[in-house]
Amino acid sequence: MIDYIKKASKGDYEDYIEFLTSIVENEIDTKKIPLREAAEAIVSEAFYQLREQKPILDKLFLKANEVLDPPCQDDMELENHPIDEVVEAIRRNEIYMSQKSGTLPRQNGI
């Protein structure tokens, strides 16, 4: 099991997004599942764990609202932001790498 709480306890929202992105990339590579499905599963699991540690979730929530515009109103809204951010980051990376290499992007990565 991945320790999402330990990473979130640092309180760096952008670093947490990068952490989740790398986990989702590994998930789509190993399980060959679609990007959005993998992102939703990973982020949902992360927030399930975080909800059990309210002080850590609150810390991440505050840090996230420093960079999000508009800020989130609750933890459910905060959960949706990383899903979208992870999906977009992986899509951008897939398109960049396919253009750079002259190959087609992974179908499950876009």
Q: What is the pLDDT of residue 11?
A: 86
Tens digits of per-residue pLDDT, 27-72?
998 988 899 999 999 999 999 999 999 999 999 999 999 999 899 9
pLDDT of residue 50: 94
Mean local confidence (pLDDT), 81-86: 94
Residue-wise pLDDT tens digits, 1-19: 578 999 999 989 999 999 9
Q: Which tokens is 96 given?
A: 């960049």
pTM of the model: 0.87
